[in-house]
Amino acid sequence: MRVAIYGKGGIGKSTVSANLTAALSVRGLKVLQIGCDPKHDSTRLLLNGRDPPTVMEYIRSTSKGERDLSDVIVQGYGGSLCVEAGGPEPGVGCAGRGILSTFDLLEELGVDSLDADVTLYDVLGDVVCGGFAVPLRNDYAQKVMVVTSGEFMSIYAANNILRGVRNYDPRRMGGIIFNSRGDDEERERVRAFAEAVGLPVVAEIPRSTLFLEAERTGATVVELFPDDPLSSRFHDLANTVLDGEVHEARPLGDEELERIVLGKASAPRAEAGGMRVENGSLRPRTPPVYTSRNVDRHEVLHGCAFTGAVVTCMSVEGLHTVMHSPDSCAHLSCQMAQNAARRAFLKEGVSIPSFLEPRVHCSSMDDPAMVFGGTPLLEAALRRALAECSHVAMVTSCPSGIIGDDVISLAQRMEAEHEGSKVITMVEDGNVAGDHMQGVIDACVALADSLITEHPPRNDLINVVGIKPIATNNERNMRYLESVLSMMGMGLNCRFIGGTDIDSIEGFKKASLSILANTDRFAQMLASFLEDEHGARFLRSPLSAGMAGTEAWIRELALHGGTQDADKVIEGLRHEYQEALGPLRNDMEGRSVCIISMHKDIDWLIDLIDDLGMELRRAYVVDRSDHLMDYHVGNRHESRLMFLQDYVMEDVVRSCVQESPDILLSTYPVDAGLDIVQERIPMVPDIGHLAPLELARHWALALRAPLREGWRVDHDG
């Protein structure tokens, strides 16, 4: 028999539990009592007032291979077996997680082998998170008793416990144990509540000084006053626990509860909102200003802000990144960055030092950290980082946020202790702040706010903003940009942020102008932020693939600061473009094409198709929440594009197939059969006047290949 005794903190459930265990034990039953309350005093009265070791302390202090069940079980009155889960100090860590870990450990160490006749869980009931609900799970308590007094908050907690039981197997309620506080009217309130929820009051424990007397000697009433009528109440309760019926949990609604227990109509609800809890105190809520699409539209979050922020920080040379997380978060984030770096190195021979030599530290939050709080581990990681570097970014994961580690105070203390250091704190709390892109935006904002300093602006320098840190063509694109800038008598100042260093971010304001790396929301958000907060000025035209886009930003740049004649530069580029285009046009002219793009900015692609003399039969631009663009980009070729918000991909593909194009261009391969050549639209297109022609060159070659290559015969799917 497994029984859970739930009740509001301080209501006397430990006293009831210990006396019940004593009553069961004296009749020769083997009783295991497990205290599930961080204050670990459930079994004290069975142990002559002694505190048993807690399971959580044991987990913290004893390595896995050395653990033994006998170390956490103490024998108490009447041969009862006593276990205390324990937990963190108030205000830190996660006590619920402590309960989870305790149950896991007891199971792992073979608690079932004890063959207890009765297992009694004494559980704090006004904490309603999942951890404290573990004893309610179907594997554990077969019967649930609720201890309550007649005070409203106690009955309120009892009602919440019924709600918890209803979420599992609801037919397990053993009844209500009324622990009287001596208030005249409380019996009626408990009776009314019990009647309303359809449960019997299985015991009434009167207020008595005998409890105090027994407690002073560290014993139960059952032990110290075995013949007193008060002890009989517990013996009767023991009978009910063993033999009583079970009932269904049928909790009341809040209004109904107030009406029945307090006998009053419910008060109108206070207007909520405008505040949020931060570090334990309410602060005015500031809606996020620079948001990703997923966050802005409350969509499914793709990836997590933690990884976005970590990857962005990792891309800054000279910055160490501390991840306050379990190892898994660190691994997933570092893999994302390092895989990109490996591909860039092995395929393109480009070395990205910040990713290939990552300067990262992880607090490696483990089970004890989840229970007792993770700041000691974080402090150790921060100290490791600060020993090597004066600039440290610190990013928090979901577990840190869920257990509420006070990372901000710690970061401030670390800064104060390490003269000249800077700890840039990003409280992303995993995906609590948002998706991957939100993390990238947040990191860019935090790094800019922490690092950018005043400098006299120069007209011959330009920043590029909105670089995607893990795109493998960054280096190639930047080389192109620098080559064009040098033709204009200008130089590249800061790459914000990707393949850059701390000095470069600090010197952001050395350039009087900035240009966007592309047109997506991420870049737009950064532009808004840098304009709003740091007075940055941007060219209207972003960097782009293709001749027209390249020409646009070069002309604009010339107006703002370029020292060379734009016409001359453009003429040179256009000549190169035409030279390269000629032979390709011979191959591609008259060929038909359909497009299914997730990119909304595909003017450069349509330009290319036109320049090659190809026939565009259909061009769909499909919206997706896991893609970066969420706005209308003002395409020059808008009338030739079909924008689809809600669609079935199979229908879109079928529509293209019906057009029988020579080539189908899509962001990802689609199931279009084998009669059409499929080519990819790159996720992050190369910039520059010649970049699209590289794609066209591949199209031309693909058209010369057989439609059905031999290997397809052997492919089983």
Partner 1 sequence: MMDETRPDGLVGALMAFEGVKGSITALNGPTGCKYYPASLSEAMTRRGGFNPMMHDSRFYLGQSRIPCTYMDLNDYVAGGRARMEELWQDCQTRSPSLLALINSPGASLIGEVLEFEGGVPPTAMMESPPPSVTFSEGYESAILAVLGALRPLDASPEPMTVNLLGMSIADLGWEDSLADLRSLLEVCGIRVLAAPGAGCSVAELKDSGRAALNVMVHDERCQRTAEWYRINHGIPCHRPSGGAPLGFGPLTEWLEGICSLLGADPGPGLVSIKEARRRAAREISRLDRYQGLPRGTSFSVSGSPSLVLPIVKTLHGYLGMVPLAVATSEDGPCTEQLESYLGDIGCGEASTDVLDCPADVVIADGNTAAMVLARGLADNAVDIEAPSMVQVNIRSDPLLGIGGTQRLLDRCLQGLRR
- Supply the residues annotated as catalytic: 8, 13, 39, 126
Nearest CA-CA partner of 338 in 353, 325, 324: 353
Binding mask 591-610 for partner 1 (x = CB under 8 A): -----x-x------------
513-546: b (≥16 Cβ within 10 Å) or e:
bbbbbbbbbbbbbbbebbeeeeebebbebbbbbb
Residue from 145, 197, 360, 581 touching partner 1 (CB under 8 A): that is 360
| Residue nearer to partner 1 on the CB measure, 34 or 329 | 329
- Binding status of residue 228 toward partner 1 by CB under 8 A: no
Token pair 């709600």 in the structure block, residue = 163
- Binding status of residue 56 toward partner 1 by CB under 8 A: no
| Residue nearer to partner 1 on the CB measure, 168 or 643 | 168
| Residue nearer to partner 1 on the CB measure, 34 or 99 | 99
Segment contacting partner 1 (CB under 8 A): 21-29, 34-42, 608-616, 619-627?
Answer: 619-627
CB of 527 to partner 1, least distance (A): 26
| Residue 179 tokens, joined | 């622990």
Segment contacting partner 1 (CB under 8 A): 15-23, 76-84, 136-144, 202-210?
Answer: 136-144
Binding mask 72-111 for partner 1 (x = CB under 8 A): ----------------------x-xx-xxx--x-------
CB of 227 to partner 1, least distance (A): 43
The sign of the torsion formed by the CA atoms of 154, 158, 161, 163 equals: negative
| Residue nearer to partner 1 on the CB measure, 31 or 378 | 378
Applying the rule CB under 8 A, the residues between 515 and 574 that interact with partner 1 are none
Applying the rule CB under 8 A, the residues between 402 and 431 that interact with partner 1 are 402-403, 430-431
Determine the 3-state secondary structure of 397 from DSSP: coil
- Binding status of residue 332 toward partner 1 by CB under 8 A: yes
Within 13 A of 198's CA, how many CA atoms are on the CB side? 13
CB of 623 to partner 1, least distance (A): 11
- Binding status of residue 670 toward partner 1 by CB under 8 A: yes
Quickly count: other Cβ atoms within 10 Å of residue 716's Cβ: 3
- Binding status of residue 626 toward partner 1 by CB under 8 A: yes
Segment contacting partner 1 (CB under 8 A): 4-12, 206-214, 216-224, 664-672?
Answer: 664-672
- Binding status of residue 262 toward partner 1 by CB under 8 A: no
- Binding status of residue 300 toward partner 1 by CB under 8 A: yes
Alpha-helical (H) ranges within 488-627 are: 502-506, 521-534, 547-560, 566-588, 603-611
| Residue nearer to partner 1 on the CB measure, 45 or 677 | 677
Residue from 142, 180, 239, 338 touching partner 1 (CB under 8 A): that is 338
Cis bond before residue 681 (omega within 30° of 0): no
Contact 425, 408 (CB under 8 A): yes
- In the beta sheet, which residues pair with residue 320? 392
d(CA 690, CA 477): 12
d(CA 687, CA 209): 84
Segment contacting partner 1 (CB under 8 A): 185-193, 279-287, 357-365, 523-531?
Answer: 357-365
Within 13 A of 636's CA, how many CA atoms are on the CB side? 11
CB of 300 to partner 1, least distance (A): 5
Within 13 A of 360's CA, how many CA atoms are on the CB side? 30
Applying the rule CB under 8 A, the residues between 168 and 227 that interact with partner 1 are 168
d(CA 195, CA 186): 14
- Give the N- to C-terminal CA distance of the chain in Å, as an integer: 53
